[in-house]
Amino acid sequence: MTTNAATDPMIGRMIDHRYRVRSRIARGGMATVYLATDVRLERRVAIKIMHGHLADDQAFRERFIQEARSAARLSHPNLVGVYDQGAEDDTAYIVMEYIPGITLRDLLQEHHALTPEQATDILRAVLAGLASAHRAGIVHRDLKPENVLLADDGRIKLGDFGLARATTANTATGAALLGTIAYLSPELVTRGAADSRSDIYALGIMLYEMLTGEQPYKGEQPMQIAYQHANDQVPAPSAAVAGIPPELDDLVAWSTARNPDDRPRDAREMLDHMAGDQQRATGQYRTAVLRPENATAIIPAGSATPTSADSGDATTILEPAQRSSAQQPGGRGGRNAPGPRRTGSQPGALSPAAQRLADKSTRRRKRGWIVLVVVLVLMALGGSIGWAFGPGPWGNVRIPEVAGKSVSQARQLLEAQGLQTASSTATRFDAVVAKGQVSTTKPAARREVRKGTSVQIVVSNGPKMIALPAIVGQPLSTVTAALDDDFELQDDQYQFSADAPKDTVIAATGLGTDGASVDLSTVKAYGERGPVTLTVSLGAVPDVVGKSVDDASATLDAVGLTLGSQDAQYSDTVPTGQIISAKAADDPVVEGSAIDVVVSKGPTPITLPDVHGKTINDATATLDALGLKVSVPDCTNILCGFYDWKASLPVQSTDPGAGATVYRGDTITLAYEQ
C-alpha cells in the first residue's frame, strides 16, 4: 500500500451498493486497483477504478471500457477473469478476479534471475493465456512482468488488457506510443504498428530478463532504449549468464527478431515450438526402422556378368531361402521354394553378384557383434557415471520442505537426502509457523544442491509483535489504512449502536496463541499478519415511536431492519394506530434484526358506574377516581344557602346514564332534586 493510502477517500466506500472497498493494491497511469468485497456474493474481488481526473477525457474513458470488453471476451485458466463493469458518479470501474500472490516483477526483484526451468514454466503459462487472446483476435500490447500474476496456490495468470485492441486494428493513432518502453517492439517504435508478433517480441524480452535478471537494453533516457530496440539485435542470454541451454538462446533470438516476419506469427506457434523442443530433448521423437524378414535385395547392373545365355536381366534378384521338406505343406512331397537365381550350369553355384552379397553380409554380422559389445561397455560406463552423479555420492538433490516441523524432524529429513545440517540454528519472525518450529532453511526448500551441502535450519520466533494504533471510536477508512499493511483484515462485522456514529469502529477482535478471541482494545501489540475482525457501527436504530405502523416499517426497511411483532395497548396519551414503544429482538442489533413494537388502541374505555342515590359529593369522588370530569348544576333553592347541600342531596340520575361507555377526561353531569 502506498503511503497516501490512509487518506484515500475510496477506502471504506460502497460502490454501486455492492462492492465495499477495503484497501489499495496498486496504482497505475490510468487507474487504481483496490481489494474489495462483493457483499452480494460474499467474495473478494479486485476492482479497478479509473482516476477521477480522466473521467472527462472521452478517449481514456473509452479505452478503459475497452479493457473490460476485451478481457470479458476471454476465458482461460491463465487469464485474469473479468466479472463486472460499470460507472458511478462519472467514475468507471472494472471488477476482476482477485489473485492473492505476487507479480513476476516482485519475483525477479527477490531472486534477480530464474532458472531455465522456472523461466520456461512461466513462459508456457503466459503463452497459453496469450494464445487464447490471439485466437480471439485480441493483442495485449502491454506485456511486462508487472502484468504476470503468480498466485499463492501456484497459478500463473496474465492480466491488465488496458491497451488491448483487435488484431485487425494494427495501426496506432496519435503521437504517443502505448506500452512500456523496455518491451516495445521495433515496429511500434518506428511505425506505431502492433499485432500479435509485437506481443511475441515483448515475451522474448521478458524471457531474456527472467534468465539474466536484467533487461537487454539500458539507457538514461527512454529514447535511448527505443533506439536500441529499433536498431540492435537482442544478445543471447548465455552471453550474460553461463549454463543457459542453446535452445533458450534460439528462442530469445527468434522471438525478438527485428523483422516481425522472422518471429512466430502468434503465441500458439511459439507454444507449439516449445513443446516440440521439449519432446525432442526428452527423446520422444524417435524413428525406428525395422528390417523386414523377407527383404528383396536388388544389385545394380554391371556388378556381375550373367553366365546364362538367356539371362538378359539388368539386375540379379535374391529369392527367399529354400525351405526344407519338413517345412512344406503336408511335410512331404512338397515342392521346394526356389533359391537364388543361378547363372551357370554347375549345381549349387551362385552368381558372382550373389556371392559378393553373401560375403558382405558375413562381414557385417561380424562387425555387428563388435559394435554390440562396444555399445554394452559404453552403456555400463554411462550408467555408472549417471548413478554417481544421480542417486550416487556426486549427485544433486532438492532440499525438502521442512517448514512447520520440529528441529529434530527437519534434521532427519535433510540427512535422509544426503545433506549435512549446520550445528547451529538461526531464528526469524514468522507470521505463519508457530514459535519453536522450523520456519525455513538456508538454502531455501526446493533448491537443487549437491549432496553433502550444509543446510542451516531457521527456527520461527512466532509472529513479530506490532504496536496497535487507536482503533475503537475511529473512522473505518482510517483504521483499515492503518492495519492493512501489517495484519490480515477479515470481513467487517456491522451492528447498530446508539453510542457511535455510522462507519465508526466500535470493536476489534483477534486470535490469541490458544485460538481464543482477543479484544484488541485491551492489548498494546498484536502478532504480524494476525487476523483482525472489525465491528463497525451502523448508527442508532431509528426511533419509530409515534409513527404509524406503515411509516415505521418503511423507516426500518431503509436501514436493513424488519418490523417484528405488533402488540396493541390502550393509551390515554398516544393516538390510536401510532406506536407507543419499540424494542429490538436481538442484542446486538444487526442488519436483518427485527424490531418489536407496541401499537396504541387509543384511550382505555370505562363503563360508567351507577351512582344513583349517592350524595353529590360521594358520586363526584367515585367518578373523579375513574378520571372522569363531573358537572353539577347550581342549586337555585334558597334553602341551599343555609347548609351543605352537596353532602346531603342524593343523585337522581347521570348524563350519560349508568352503564354507558366513556373515556378518561369525559364530563359526566349529575342530576338531583332541589
Alpha helix segments (H runs only) across 232-344 = 246-255, 267-281
Measured distance CA(646)–CA(635) in Å, rounded: 9
**Cis amide prior to 443 (ω within 30 degrees):** yes
Q: Mind giving me the DSSP string for 556-616?
A: HHTTT-EEEEEEEE--SSS-TTBEEEEEESSSS--TT-EEEEEEE--SPEEEPP--TTSBH
Q: Which residue has the cell 556378368?
A: 305
Contacts of the segment 576-584: beta carbons below 8 A, 24+ positions apart:
576/600, 576/601, 576/602, 577/548, 577/549, 578/546, 578/547, 578/548, 579/544, 579/545, 579/546, 579/547, 579/548, 579/549, 579/552, 580/545, 581/545, 582/543, 582/544, 582/545, 582/552, 584/496, 584/541
Beta pairing partners, 555: none
3-state DSSP of 241-261 = CCCCCHHHHHHHHHHCCCCHH
Neighbour tally for 88: CB within 10 Å: 14
Measured distance CA(394)–CA(450) in Å, rounded: 7
Q: Which one, of 114, 48, 54, 124, lies nearest residue 83 by Cα?
A: 48
Q: How far apart are the first and last CA of the chain?
A: 97
Dihedral pair phi/psi, residue 566, rounded to 5°: -130, 105
Q: Mind giving me the DSSP string for 162-173?
A: TT-EETT--B--
Annotated catalytic sites, by residue?
142
